[in-house]
Amino acid sequence: MKKVVKDRKDIAFYIKLAPLVNIHPQAYEKSKAIVCENSLKLLEDAYEKKPLPAAKCLAPSIDKNIELVKKIGITGAPAMVLPDGRIIRGFKDASAINELIGNK
């Protein structure tokens, strides 16, 4: 995502944390901590498997995100929902994301 945003100023990513607790039991609390602090650094720390502080709020948005991904059929991560509504599952490198989104 960072490479795409660096190269394409016309693209923004909106990250919705929807932890897969059946696969990653600690992901729910980590997601809450990230949302409570509104912290990209904590998100990056989580991906690097660094310890995170305890959540300082209830973060009801996490539960809403979990409901949303169930409703639209997302069962794994990563997943992207493109502006045209397509759901793209699995990791994609920057060039693949640019190709999916289209040219500037």
Please give the tally of structural domains in the chain: 1
Helix 27-37 with 60-72: angle, nearest 10 deg: 120
Structural domain span for residue 11: 2-101
- Coil, helix or strand at residue 87: strand
Calpha distance 98→81 (Å, rounded): 14
pTM of structure: 0.85
Can you give the pLDDT of all 104 residues of the chain as single tens digits? 889 999 899 999 999 999 988 888 999 999 999 999 999 999 999 999 999 999 999 999 999 999 999 999 998 889 999 989 999 999 999 999 999 988 65
* CATH number of the domain that residue 62 is part of: 3.40.30.10
Answer for the pair 82, 101: CB distance below 8 angstroms, yes or no. yes
Calpha distance 48→102 (Å, rounded): 30
